Amino acid sequence: MKIVNSVAELDDGCTFVPTMGALHAGHASLFTAARSQSDFVVASIFVNPLQFENSKDLELYPRTPERDIEIARDSGATHLWLPQQSEIYPDNFTKRFAGPIGEIFEGSHRVGHFDGVVTVVSRLFDLLRPTKAIFGEKDFQQLFLIRKLAKSSYKDLEIIAAPTVRESDGLALSSRNIRLNKTDREAATVIFKALVAAKNSQTLEEARRVIFEISSQEPLFKLDYAEIINEGNFAIATQSTLKQRAIIAGWLNGVRLIDNMEMNLSSETPGAR
């Protein structure tokens, strides 16, 4: 694996996996998926200041550069791009806006977050000019907004979604998990439990109810939002005919965790026919 600091050292046409580092098996699965598509896989690590709402969260974001290099190399990246801030954000860079879907759910709790995400991703795409780019379903609203960005501004770029990698007890892998102490880590399983209970429900109504019920059974978990949305437009799901997804976010002792799961729920009340 070749490590580069400047995009000038990279050709066009790679399969691209952008990250913010503190890599784990979730990121590794993206590199492996990328390598199965192409022999030219560029991973990037750039902790994007624009997508952090406050400087404390940016400061606390974990940084594990040596382990990152090992994980990227061992799981299929052929190139690791470690850009300087001045390469991504020269004085004249154009800020992008995520639009209305960037302001709901995750966006309403982290003002400006998705504007920062679409801005950095468009800068990375403009500089690198990949053929394909892979993003995790773990950040489902982000994936939706990047698909929208690609549709409007990068028509030849293929966006590939990769499934969420989880711990054995269901907790979605996240760079933030290392900030959880033992008690918080155990409490964090409530998120997966709530999603599974929703998936096992019959109707949208029941699923919404059980998600709230189960999340409230864990006193350490402070729920921010839980909803079932249509995958195609992020509107609140009311029909069983469209692809549905439950999304959930909350706090555990100052650490923000998000997750989501595909649903297949009926819009009817059982026995109401």
What's the min distance (Å) between Cβ of 109 and ligand AMP? 17
Give the closest residue to 265 by CA, choosing from 247, 243, 249, 248. Answer: 243
Contact between 17 and 44 under an 8 Å Cβ cutoff? The reply is yes
Residue with smaller CB distance to ligand AMP, 165 or 190: 165
Site for ligand AMP in 21-60 (CB under 6 A): 26-27, 29-30
Phi/psi region, residue 257 (left: phi>0; alpha: psi -120 to 50; beta: rest), is beta
Contact between 232 and 243 under an 8 Å Cβ cutoff? The reply is yes
Residue with smaller CB distance to ligand AMP, 34 or 223: 34
What's the min distance (Å) between Cβ of 209 and ligand AMP? 27
Q: Which stretch binds ligand AMP (CB under 6 A): 89-97, 158-166, 211-219, 256-264?
A: 158-166
Q: How far is CA 242 from CA 81, 106, 246, in A?
A: 39, 22, 13
Backbone angles phi, psi at 141, to 5 degrees: -70, -35
What's the min distance (Å) between Cβ of 265 and ligand AMP? 24
Q: Where are the beta strands (DSSP E) in the chain?
A: 2-4, 15-19, 41-45, 79-81, 132-136, 158-162, 221-230, 244-252, 255-263
Q: Does 75 bind ligand AMP (CB under 6 A)?
A: no
Residue with smaller CB distance to ligand AMP, 34 or 226: 34
Site for ligand AMP in 172-211 (CB under 6 A): 172-175
Residue in the block written with tokens 């896989």: 41
Number of residues in contact with ligand AMP under rule CB under 6 A? 17
Binding mask 111-130 for ligand AMP (x = CB under 6 A): --------------------
Residue with smaller CB distance to ligand AMP, 15 or 201: 15
Q: Does 139 bind ligand AMP (CB under 6 A)?
A: yes
Give the closest residue to 223 by CA, choosing from 263, 181, 195, 264. Answer: 195
In sequence order, what are the residues at sequence separation of 6 or more whose Cβ sits closer than 8 angstroms to the Cβ of residue 66? Answer: none
CA dist., res. 264 & res. 47, Å (int): 36
Answer yes or no: 27 catalytic: yes
Q: Which entry of 24, 27, 79, 113 is annotated as an active-site residue?
A: 27
Residue with smaller CB distance to ligand AMP, 29 or 75: 29
What's the min distance (Å) between Cβ of 27 and ligand AMP? 5
Residues that bind ligand AMP (CB under 6 A): 19-20, 26-27, 29-30, 135-136, 138-139, 162, 164-165, 172-175
Catalytic residue positions, numbered: 27
